[in-house]
Homo-oligomer: A and B are copies of this chain.
């Protein structure tokens, strides 16, 4: 079991529907978990079946009704248990890194292009996270907020996400530059 705890943690912010979670997983929670809508719907149904979440129908006008979920007593207990248990080491999986690993044996041009694209994506994500952080801490400065804010968990994880995206951007640009310089040399070498 794995996604379940990420879903429970995401629902600590309030009530959300599967659709909202699927959207919201792009920011915030996406810093430490990633899931497709199908998975989320399935997991929400399972968690409700086990009594860790309770759902209720929200009737809407001008758009389809939705079911939103909140964490139950049992859900909190499950999170408590999870937080105290020893964590598995994290893992990254990144196609782009695999390509860079193999870059000496394949055409470098598309890899360079993808590195630059990824750098741009990381920059955009970093900006979104920066805004989210400012919103979370309100008028307080960071130190003050961390001392006195009611909920700092989401702030801490967003900070991790921001550092990660910045690091990603820097590395992508540096790696792309390093590869470009070699291509120049190859082409400009003595014939």
Across-interface contacts of A106 in B (CB, < 8 A)? 76, 79-80, 83-84
Query: Which residue, of A9, A96, A98, A151, has the highest number of chain B Cβ atoms within 10 A?
Result: A98
Residue on B nearest A105 in the bound complex, by CB: B12
Across-interface contacts of A175 in B (CB, < 8 A)? 156, 159-160
Q: Is B163 within 8 A of A167, CB to CB?
A: yes
Complex: A94 Cα to B121 Cα, angstroms: 21
- Per assembly, the copies of the chain total 2
Across-interface contacts of A66 in B (CB, < 8 A)? none
Stretch from A39-47, A53-61, A110-118, A128-136 at the B interface = A110-118
Given contacts A92-B32, A159-B171, contact A87 B104 (CB under 8 A): no
Is A147 an interface residue, CB under 8 A from the partner?
A: yes
Query: 7 pairs across A/B with beta carbons < 8 Å?
Result: A32-B96, A83-B102, A87-B99, A101-B154, A103-B152, A146-B182, A163-B171
Q: Is A83 within 8 A of B107, CB to CB?
A: yes
Complex: A92 Cα to B89 Cα, angstroms: 11
Complex: A83 Cα to B113 Cα, angstroms: 11
Complex: A55 Cα to B161 Cα, angstroms: 41
Q: Is A92 within 8 A of B151, CB to CB?
A: no
Given contacts A91-B93, A92-B92, A110-B83, contact A103 B167 (CB under 8 A): no
Is A95 an interface residue, CB under 8 A from the partner?
A: yes
Complex: A10 Cα to B105 Cα, angstroms: 12
Given contacts A2-B93, A34-B93, contact A98 B156 (CB under 8 A): no
The 6 closest A-B pairs by CB, nearest first: A32-B97, A90-B94, A34-B91, A87-B95, A83-B106, A9-B102
